[in-house]
Amino acid sequence: MTTYAEKKAQLEARLAGAHGAASVSVRKDTSNRFRDRADDGRRRIDLSHFNGVLRVDAAAGIVEAEGMTTYEALADATLACGTVPAVVPQLKSITLGGAVAGVGIEASSFLHGLVHDTITSVDVLTGTGQILTCTPDNEHRDLFHGLANSYGTLGYALKLSARTVPARRCVELRHERHQDPAAYFARIGRLCAEGGIDFLDGVVFSRDEMYVTLGRFVDDAREVSDYGFERIYYRSIRERQTDALTTRDFLWRWDSDWFWCSKNVGAQHPLVRRLLGRRRLNSITYQKIMRWNARHGVTRLWNRLRGVHAESVIQDVDIPIGRAAEFLAFLHAEVGILPIWICPIRAPDAAQRATLYPLAQGSPSINFGFWDVVTTRQPRPAGCVNRAIERKVTALGGVKSLYSDSYFAEDEFWSIYDRDAYAALKRKYDPEGALGDLYAKCVGRVRADASSGTSAPAPSSTRTSSG
């Protein structure tokens, strides 16, 4: 087994031979990025072997792992020691470094914030080819606070320390039904303030059918449900008021059906489920199918034959809780995608706020996740619905994740994501621009066909260039 120190030394030697980290981007086996991008021709450095869990210190509440470690591996290693990362994003293939660079979230975020809020130290490979240890209070604290939402454009996280919390064997759930959006968000706000629970998220199924799910660690449960094969978690929310899962199954409750997006590949049909089998019912399989579809244009062709125009709307946006009901009304009226995932997020501490992800301060935000294709008979400008969402999010004081399509004008983008602070970070840590620019990476269109009507990117090979 190569240790982290050895991998780091090998990387430093390779980079020195290559005269710095010029034109670097990273190779990974999986990706949860959802933007259509052609290969930009940059030289890829393979960092996929930085994928080991290094140390679990349950007593100190810390796990140390390499940047490309998947949360599945991280959760398994920590659960074996009776502990779990404070925030575990819902998809097994999301990596620790990717979740910091791309803003990871889960039902524990009302307590612990976003994934980057749980990080205590990170080693970053910068654009100059140096590997710097960054903490909230050392000389590289600007980079520490700048990494969230930087999408690899300030450097790649090679090793991170993340906070963990004690885990118990099971998680007990209670699903509460609500009919009125104002009362629904008021209830979520009260639950965030009261504490006494470990997890809190929700689902909106229709204008008058929304659920909040309260989760608590428990030592044991009389009976535990299994949503990894024949049964489907999101459906259970409407069917039962209480439930219990093992802690591991709880962490991956959304992964088996990619929330509900497995419907797009027919995987919610009982026969298809049996054919796929437990092992293949997961977000990694669905990503592969969606990427294949994007590459071969099957959905595009089907839409043309049906005479419909399609726009992919795959978004996660964070709205201050006081404006959440207004945003939900907008989604119902102007977008029409259902279900919608709801997840409250603790307000960031002023001193620890992520430089490039300006989440509202003072009160919790609500993450709205909605992922589907919107179709019309009439042609519309590319990105019309996504654009309307961006404007609404900004008007309500919210902030949008950048893992999928964005349509911001450049000045508008930088008025949200702090141009001056980003420019200062780039001057210091990537002066030659080897790692690319955030706006170009997250908004710039490499493919002319911005609204392809598919909901997955078209990688150039099955191995993902996660540039």
Ligand X SMILES: Cc1cc2nc3c(=O)[nH]c(=O)nc-3n(C[C@H](O)[C@H](O)[C@H](O)COP(=O)(O)OP(=O)(O)OC[C@H]3O[C@@H](n4cnc5c(N)ncnc54)[C@H](O)[C@@H]3O)c2cc1C
Q: Shortest distance, CB of residue 294 to ligand X, whole angstroms?
A: 13
Residue choice 110, 144, 156, 413 for contact with ligand X (CB under 6 A): 156
Classify residue 59 by its DSSP letter: T
> Distances from the Cα of 34 to the Cαs of 37, 287, 408, in angstroms?
9, 10, 16
Burial class of residue 105 in the structure, from the number of CB atoms within 10 Å of its CB (0-12 exposed, 13-18 middle, 19+ buried) = buried
Q: Shortest distance, CB of residue 25 to ligand X, whole angstroms?
A: 6
Q: Shortest distance, CB of residue 283 to ligand X, whole angstroms?
A: 8
Q: Shortest distance, CB of residue 418 to ligand X, whole angstroms?
A: 18
Specify the 3-state DSSP secondary structure of 421. Answer: helix
303 makes contact with ligand X (CB under 6 A): no
26 makes contact with ligand X (CB under 6 A): yes
Q: Shortest distance, CB of residue 403 to ligand X, whole angstroms?
A: 3
Nearer to ligand X, 178 or 441 (CB): 441
Q: Footprint of ligand X on residues 73-132 (CB under 6 A)?
A: 89-91, 93-95, 97-99, 101-102, 104-105
User: What's the chain's Rg over C-alpha atoms?
Assistant: 21
DSSP code string of 120-156: EEEEEE-TTS-EEEE-TTSTTHHHHHH-TT-TTSS-E
| Stretch near ligand X under the rule CB under 6 A, chosen from 26-34, 38-46, 54-62, 232-240 | 26-34
Assign residue 319 a region (left: φ > 0; alpha: ψ between -120 and 50; beta: otherwise). Answer: beta
Binding mask 183-202 for ligand X (x = CB under 6 A): --------------------
33 makes contact with ligand X (CB under 6 A): yes
Nearer to ligand X, 68 or 294 (CB): 68
Neighbours of 60 (CB within 10 A): 12
Report the relative pairing of strands 309-320 and 365-376 from DSSP bridges.
antiparallel
Q: Shortest distance, CB of residue 127 to ligand X, whole angstroms?
A: 12
**Contact (CB, 8 A) for 289 and 265:** yes
- Three state DSSP letters for 290-345: HHHHHHHCHHHHHHHHHCCEEEEEEEEEEEEHHHHHHHHHHHHHHHCCCCEEEEEE
Which string of b and e fits 114-150 if b means at least 16 CB within 10 Å?
Answer: bbbbbbebbbbbbbbbebbebeeeeebeebbbbbbbb
Q: What are phi and psi of 143, to 5 degrees?
A: -70, -40
Nearer to ligand X, 89 or 320 (CB): 89
Binding mask 313-352 for ligand X (x = CB under 6 A): -x--------------------------------------
| Stretch near ligand X under the rule CB under 6 A, chosen from 29-37, 165-173, 221-229, 354-362 | 29-37
Residue choice 11, 15, 32, 113 for contact with ligand X (CB under 6 A): 32
Report the relative pairing of strands 131-134 and 119-125 from DSSP bridges.
antiparallel
Nearer to ligand X, 85 or 181 (CB): 85
> Distances from the Cα of 339 to the Cαs of 88, 324, 371, in angstroms?
22, 16, 9
53 makes contact with ligand X (CB under 6 A): no
439 makes contact with ligand X (CB under 6 A): no
# chain residues binding ligand X, by CB under 6 A: 30
Q: Footprint of ligand X on residues 359-418 (CB under 6 A)?
A: 371, 403
| Stretch near ligand X under the rule CB under 6 A, chosen from 24-32, 317-325, 326-334, 381-389 | 24-32
Contacting residues for 137 by C-beta, under 8 A, at least 6 apart: none
Residue choice 79, 117, 149, 151 for contact with ligand X (CB under 6 A): 151
Residue choice 31, 108, 262, 386 for contact with ligand X (CB under 6 A): 31
**List of residues contacting ligand X (CB under 6 A):** 26, 28, 31-34, 67-68, 89-91, 93-95, 97-99, 101-102, 104-105, 151-152, 156-157, 314, 371, 403, 466-467
